[in-house]
A and B are shown apart, each in its own frame.
Chain A
Amino acid sequence: MDALIAKLKTQIIEQLNLEGVSPEDISPDDSLFGEGLGLDSIDALELIVLLEKNYGLKIENPAEGKKIFYTIRSIAEYITANGKA
């Protein structure tokens, strides 16, 4: 799980162009949207692309994404439960 979390941090920083943010800046339990990293609806769509591209996981309904993308840890848990990480 820790290795997956570390990998996700790097992938998210790259996919979302989070310039100036380093993996150490993000705690696995920080909320990604609203406060915290301040991601928005377009970032959520990019996270959907990230999961499909890197983990072969398709999320069709953005509303479903809300729960999955709550924190880095919740994404990692979703991948572990559903994917072939």
Chain B
Amino acid sequence: MKTVFAAHGNIITSLGFTAAENFAAMEQSRSGIQKFSNSNFLPFPFFASLVDDGKLNDKCSDFRNSKNYTRLEKMFILSISDVVEKSGLDIKNANTLLIISTTKGNINLLEEENYGGFSEKRLLLSEMANEIAHYFGMKNLPLVLSNACISGVLAIITAQRLISSGQYENIIVSGGDLVSEFTLSGFNSFKALSDEPCKPYDAERKGITLGEGCGTLLLTSNEKLLNGNEKKIVVAGGSVSNDANHISGPSRTGEELALAVNNALKEANCENEIDFISAHGTATAFNDEMESKAFNFSGLQDVSLNSMKGFFGHTLGAAGVIESVVTLETMKQNVLLPSLGYKNLGVPMPLNIIKQRETKQINTSLKTASGFGGCNAAVVFKAL
């Protein structure tokens, strides 16, 4: 089994276009969530974290044929380019695979007249992924994962497995999703949108705030690509489970998320030594409740924990990748970030939720996610 290193990451959200920009804003407790009035999206004002179009197009101005790419594809290309540049990866190498993680891909084309001038086929996730891989001249067809809100974490787990078994040397995991009329109206019909910036785990939480963005992480068995990284961080374990309870409501007990967490910790050999948890924390009543039960089942109630949704909202298929890249920064810089929006415990079981930035040696982290369809995923990062 090969060791799988987490080499370099990028994040594009309302807070910035690189992992460093995002992390710096988060250290200052800055949130990218704002109030918007856009009747194309919802008939009333709503809170969301949106990537500025002007800035995005500026950044893409030196792409080849940038107008041939959709808004989300531009984010993917920009995010992947940054990682390729930082790592020095030969992206055209036959040992390199791209995994795209998304729930809805180019769904905004459905909302635009004549699909915004693009082919209808661009709604297909594989077509979108092929466009991105083709931009970079990649040899292998990309792999697309679409598994609700665990997509990003699952993509990292999948990449870890494909590298550790020697099927690929390098995998670029890139997760992206947009805020659109489609997703906003849907979560609104679920009465799940918060009418203020979301407050994960808080007693006064009122639901989700949606966000958009893209996160990219290069995983590799080639240690040379770690250039510039002081800490060598590996993907040490990962696991997935299903609640088998309800398609939109989470488990009542949290046992199934705990099952994924325990399996991941066991594989990583760190059952009693997790320094930090980047939890899912969507700020819906039932999700946060379920997580608190799960972490208690796994005996992790005293571990420092945050949800990052208060910074850039719930970025759906991008969330697992974006939040993993922030987790890796947390480990590299030994800085714990607060769980923005949290004041008083509002879940039935105790959790050690981070209230303010603190410095602490972080060598092992757990990242979890849960989603519609009853799915749960957990991945463990470990510094060697």
Contacts and interface: CB of A to CB of B under 8 A. Distances in A.
Interface of A: 40-42, 45, 48-49, 60-62
A42 B186 CA distance: 12
Nearest to B249: A41
B191 A62 contact: yes
A49 B248 contact: no
B191 A61 contact: yes
Contact of A60 (B191, B246, B249): B191
Nearest to A42: B248
B249 A45 contact: no
Interface of B: 189-191, 246-249
Residue in B190, B191, B247, B248 whose Cβ sees the most chain A Cβ within 10 Å: B191
5 contacts: A41-B249, A42-B248, A48-B191, A60-B191, A61-B191
Most chain B beta carbons < 10 A, residue from A45, A49, A60 = A45
B246 A45 contact: no
A48 B192 CA distance: 13
B188 to A, nearest CB: 10
Contacts of A41: 246, 248-249
A48 to B, nearest CB: 7
A55 B112 CA distance: 31
Contacts of A62: 191
Given A40-B246, A41-B248, A42-B248, A49 B191 contact: no
Nearest to A62: B191
Contacts of B190: 45
A42 B190 CA distance: 8
Instruction: List 5 tightest A-B contacts by C-beta distance, closest first.
Output: A62-B191, A41-B249, A42-B248, A45-B190, A45-B189
Nearest to A41: B249
A63 to B, nearest CB: 9
Given A41-B248, A42-B247, A62-B191, 5 more contacts: A40-B249, A41-B246, A42-B248, A45-B189, A60-B191
A60 B190 CA distance: 10
B246 A49 contact: no
A26 B247 CA distance: 25
A61 B191 CA distance: 7
A16 B189 CA distance: 15
Contacts of A60: 191
B371 to A, nearest CB: 15
Contact of B189 (A40, A49, A61): A49
A30 to B, nearest CB: 22
Contacts of A40: 246, 249
Nearest to A48: B191
A58 B317 CA distance: 31
A49 B79 CA distance: 40
Contacts of A48: 191
A32 B225 CA distance: 59
A48 B189 CA distance: 9
Contacts of A49: 189
Nearest to A49: B189
A61 B195 CA distance: 12
A49 B248 CA distance: 17
A60 B249 CA distance: 19
A41 B250 CA distance: 11
A28 B283 CA distance: 36
Nearest to B206: A61
B50 to A, nearest CB: 24
A58 to B, nearest CB: 11
A23 B190 CA distance: 27
Contacts of A61: 191
Contacts of B247: 42
Nearest to B246: A40
Contacts of B249: 40-41
A60 B192 CA distance: 10
A41 B189 CA distance: 12
Nearest to B190: A45
Contacts of B189: 45, 49
A41 B248 CA distance: 8
